């Protein structure tokens, strides 16, 4: 079958960098689904993104759809044919409606009986024809954080669309959307050759796309562009005998603000090196999108900043020195602001800013940051389990930098400035680190707090925010999450997963709600707030387990058995996932045996049967139930020890040793015996096993 390359490019006004990667992921998924739905065979799908274009190329797209055979169900056999086998009017009407001869109808058995079917053979349409209808739907389906409307049809998109390229091999796929017709014309960088749209580039075929744009100085492959930026920035820093500080977050952003990267070096006055390095780095990275240069790195952190930075231009400027001077001038102005705010702040100690927290609202209706600080002092001490002067001091100061001029101007530095000012004031390193670390873990690296004080402050901070917001019904809906509760819940679970000591989710929520109530901030019933918080945390836990590669049914089975011990929940899920992948048949047969127990107990509960109680040996009448009872007694101590050690691999294998006895039990024993005492005794035996099973998962939810 003949195949060609498909190219689809959407040319736009410059899009924000944060729009592009999510849009490319959608573009890949939408294209894959569309080609599958259209029955078009194809090869690799690759997406490209720059500030001005979202593109997708698909190799080896067939020129025609695959033919298809459809079977359309008609009336039941006894309605379509009489007792002598002759077609009735129902059969004739159905055949006519489907455009086939009544003699071509076939009879097939279904789970609802025998029916007549019309068999229709459909030849595939040309790819060019079906793609012309489908590609505009892909464009309409792309979503963005914010959209614009710029023309009469009312189409909304991330930015106004200026051109569309749609090629199948050498042929244009014809369609029009938002007043723009698909063509074979794309454009180079803006304002080249004196043209605001950029140089007009005619593509003879889809295969020419990458190399033709590269000849026009556009690196359309964002992966290639990213590596080129990284290499250029590193070489620029090396030319200064330094090392560039390249964060993945900044590298990704710069990748999507240029089409032809050119790294240039800038310089700033050495007097600014007197300021804290974290402050200078934040200004360069977050505010100016520059790459700082240091003399070296220690564990990924800067060792002595150098008075240089590397910035990335979109193409080589006509006057590089003028562009360099402009960037240096802007950075100097930012550094001057930072130096002024730093000097103003240092006229006071960090503790002097604590009273000013009364002027900063935490959340409307939930008091101010001074109130929150007091709750954190109490809650962190409860979580820690004992009074610690350093923890109390860290809690007292942890929000103080929010009242400083520097953090008010550079909000990314909350916590960081608190740590710096605390050290300058002579506070201990443990206290200073805790002040910064109580905001951790933070994306993109999700580094955990360095010491136990910072750890419990971080846990207390998330718990207080979640409980306070849920108490006032400030619950996220859809994409609306103004107080960052999804991130708070996710990072809380990450903290509890790596806790210095075992802490239970339920106990943490109880502690936080008590502190909230003691502060007379709670408005609704504890139980309802706690219930909502638990459900919310369960959803976030499901997301974290999904990131670990855990299957949906295993996630649900593990979470349904409880997630009070977060670290153990991760281990339980990983254990089941590992056995499913490595020993599938054994795993499935084990789960099936366990499910027989949980299913019959569920049925008994529906009939209001008593399933709890002690097993009475004298009521065990059959050898199979006596054998099972003895085995359960035998495995309990060792199983409990493995659970205590969080060795769920071994615990599951211990439980699996009773599977043959479980199967013999069900083969030989009537659980729902007519004698009430015997029936309840057998249910009590199965309940003993169910209690053990629920230490790992609710096996009813696992698909085999």
216-244 pLDDT, tens digit each = 999 999 999 999 999 999 999 999 999 99
Q: Tell me what pLDDT residue 300 has.
A: 52
Does the pLDDT at position 85 exceed 90? no
Q: Give which of 399, 334, 329 is closest to 370, Cα–Cα.
A: 399
* pLDDT score for 195: 65
Q: Would you state the pLDDT for residue 298?
A: 63
Q: Classify residue 283 by its DSSP letter.
A: I
57 phi and psi angles, rounded to 5 deg: -120, 135
Angle subtended at Cα 195 by Cα 194 and Cα 201, rounded to the nearest 5 degrees:
120
Bridge partners for 62 per DSSP: 3
pLDDT tens digit string along 479-509?
A: 788 889 999 999 999 999 999 988 999 999 9
| Residue pLDDT, tens place only, 255-291 | 999 999 999 999 999 999 999 999 999 999 999 999 9
In angstroms, the CA 229 to CA 311 distance is 10
**Ranges of each domain in the chain:** 3-64+126-215, 68-122, 222-345, 383-547, 570-701
Calpha distance 201→194 (Å, rounded): 15
Cα torsion 259, 260, 261, 267: sign: negative
Alpha-carbon distance of 173 to 185, in angstroms, equals 12
pLDDT for 184 equals: 96
Distance CA 424, CA 164 (A): 58
Q: How confident is the model at residue 193 (pLDDT cuts 50, 70, 90)?
A: low
Q: How far apart are CA 418 and CA 424, in angstroms?
A: 10
Is 48:57 a contact under the CB 8 Å cutoff?
Answer: yes
| 402-408-409-415 Cα dihedral, nearest 10 degrees | 10
DSSP state of 522: -
Average pLDDT over residues 144-156: 91
Q: What is the mean pLDDT of residues 633-661?
A: 93
Residue 194: its pLDDT value, please? 57
Cα distances from 382 to residues 377, 457, 470, in angstroms, run: 9, 11, 21
Distance in angstroms (rounded) separating the CA atoms of residues 595 and 307: 67
**Across the chain, what does the average pLDDT equal?**
92
pLDDT for the residue numbered 516? 92
The tens digit of pLDDT for each residue in 436-470 reads: 999 999 877 789 999 999 999 999 999 999 999 99
- What is the pLDDT, as a whole number, of residue 299? 55
Given pLDDT bands bounded at 50, 70 and 90, which one contains residue 173? very high
Structure tokens at 8: 């689809």
Closest to 492 (Cα-Cα) out of 561, 433, 446, 551: 446
Task: Single out the residue of 153, 102, 129 nearest to residue 39, CA to CA.
Answer: 129
By residue count, the chain amounts to 704
Could you give the percent of the chain with pLDDT greater than 90? 76
With a cut of 90, say whether residue 613 has pLDDT above it: no
pLDDT at 2: 66
How many angstroms separate the CA atoms of 382 and 464, rounded?
A: 13
Residue pair 50/223 in contact by the 8 Å Cβ criterion: no
Ramachandran bin of 244, using left for φ above 0, alpha for ψ from -120 to 50, beta for the remaining angles:
beta
Does position 197 have pLDDT exceeding 90, yes or no? no
- Hey, CA dihedral for 480, 484, 485, 486, is it positive or negative? positive
Farthest-apart Cα atoms in the chain, separation: 106
Tell me which of 107-116, 130-139, 243-252 is least confident: 107-116
Q: What is the C-alpha to C-alpha distance for residues 515 and 507, in angstroms, rounded to an integer? A: 12
Q: Which residues contact 301 (CB under 8 A, 6 or more apart)?
A: none
Q: Is the pLDDT of residue 301 over 70?
A: no
* pLDDT at residue 302 in the model: 59
Answer CATH for 3-64+126-215 from 3.30.70.60, 3.40.50.300, 1.25.40.80, 3.40.50.10360: 3.30.70.60
CATH 1.10.730 for the 570-701 domain, yes or no: yes
pTM flag (> 0.85): no
The DSSP code for 198 is: -
Residues 549-602 have pLDDT tens digits of: 999 999 999 999 999 999 999 999 999 999 999 999 999 999 999 999 999 998
Report the pLDDT averaged over residues 349-360: 96
Residue 121: per-residue pLDDT: 79
Residue with tokens 């000591």: 501
Q: What is the pLDDT of residue 522?
A: 80
């Amino acid at each position: 079958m003949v195949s060609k390359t498909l190219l689809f490019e959407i040319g736009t006004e410059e899009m924000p960098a944060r729009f592009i990667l999510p849009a490319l992921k959608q573009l890949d998924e939408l294209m894959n689904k569309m080609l599958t739905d259209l029955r078009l065979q194809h090869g690799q799908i690759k997406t490209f993104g720059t500030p001005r274009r979202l593109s997708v190329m698909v190799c080896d797209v067939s020129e025609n759809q695959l033919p298809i055979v459809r079977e359309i169900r008609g009336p039941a056999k006894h309605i379509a044919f009489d007792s002598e086998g002759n077609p009735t009017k129902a059969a004739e009407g159905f055949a006519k409606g489907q455009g086939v001869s009544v003699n071509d109808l076939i009879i097939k058995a279904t789970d609802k009986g025998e029916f007549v079917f019309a068999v229709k053979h459909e030849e595939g349409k040309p790819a060019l024809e079906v793609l012309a209808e489908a590609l505009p739907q892909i464009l309409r389906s792309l979503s963005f954080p914010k959209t614009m409307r710029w023309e009469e049809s009312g189409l909304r998109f991330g930015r106004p669309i200026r051109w569309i390229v749609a090629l199948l091999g050498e042929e244009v796929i014809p369609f029009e959307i938002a007043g723009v017709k698909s063509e074979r014309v794309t454009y180079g960088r803006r304002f080249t050759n004196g043209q605001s749209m950029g140089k007009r580039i005619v593509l003879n075929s889809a295969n020419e796309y990458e190399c033709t744009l590269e000849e026009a100085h556009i690196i359309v492959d964002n992966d290639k562009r990213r590596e080129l930026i990284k290499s250029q920035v590193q070489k620029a820093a090396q030319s200064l005998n330094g090392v560039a500080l390249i964060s993945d977050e900044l590298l990704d952003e710069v990748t999507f603000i240029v089409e032809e990267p050119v790294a240039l070096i800038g310089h700033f006055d050495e007097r600014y090196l007197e300021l804290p390095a974290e402050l200078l780095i934040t200004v360069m990275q977050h505010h100016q999108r520059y790459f700082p240069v240091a003399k070296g790195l220690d564990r990924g952190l800067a060792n002595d900043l150098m008075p240089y930075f590397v910035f990335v231009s979109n193409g080589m400027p006509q006057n590089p020195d003028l562009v360099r001077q402009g960037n240096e001038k802007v950075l100097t102005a930012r550094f001057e602001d930072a130096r002024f705010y730093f000097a103003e702040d240092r006229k006071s100690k960090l503790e002097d800013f604590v009273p000013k927290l009364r002027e900063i609202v935490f959340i409307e209706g939930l008091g101010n940051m001074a109130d929150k600080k007091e709750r954190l002092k109490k809650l962190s001490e409860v979580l820690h389990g004992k009074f610690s002067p350093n923890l109390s001091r860290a809690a007292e100061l942890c929000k103080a930098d929010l009242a400083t001029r520097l953090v008010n101007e550079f909000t990314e530095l909350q916590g960081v400035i608190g740590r710096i000012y605390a050290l300058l004031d002579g506070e201990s390193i443990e206290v200073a680190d805790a002040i910064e670390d109580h905001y951790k873990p933070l994306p993109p690296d999700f580094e955990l707090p360095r010491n136990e004080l910072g750890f419990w402050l971080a846990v207390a901070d998330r718990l207080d925010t979640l409980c306070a917001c849920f108490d006032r019904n400030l619950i996220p809906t859809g994409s609306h999450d103004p107080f960052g509760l999804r991130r708070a819940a996710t990072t809380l679970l990450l903290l509890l997963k790596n806790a210095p000591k075992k802490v239970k989710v339920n106990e943490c929520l109880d502690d936080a709600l008590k502190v909230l109530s003691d502060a007379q901030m709670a408005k609704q019933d504890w139980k309802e707030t706690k219930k909502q918080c638990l459900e919310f945390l369960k959803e976030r836990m499901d997301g974290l387990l999904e990131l670990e590669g855990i299957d949906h049914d295993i996630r649900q089975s593990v979470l349904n058995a409880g997630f009070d011990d977060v670290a153990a929940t991760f281990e339980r899920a990983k254990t089941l996932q590992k056995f499913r992948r490595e020993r599938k048949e054994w795993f499935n047969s084990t789960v099936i045996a366990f499910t027989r127990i949980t299913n019959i107990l569920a049925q008994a509960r529906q009939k209001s049967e008593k399933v709890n109680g002690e097993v009475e040996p004298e009521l065990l009448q059959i050898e199979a139930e006596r054998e099972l009872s003895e085995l359960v007694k035998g495995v309990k101590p060792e199983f409990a020890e493995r659970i205590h050690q969080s060795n769920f691999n071994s615990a599951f294998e211990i439980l699996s040793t009773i599977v043959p006895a479980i199967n013999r039990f069900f083969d030989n024993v009537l659980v729902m015996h007519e004698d009430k005492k015997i029936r309840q005794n057998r249910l009590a035996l199965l309940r003993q096993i169910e209690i053990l099973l629920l230490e790992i998962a609710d096996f009813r939810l696992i698909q085999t």
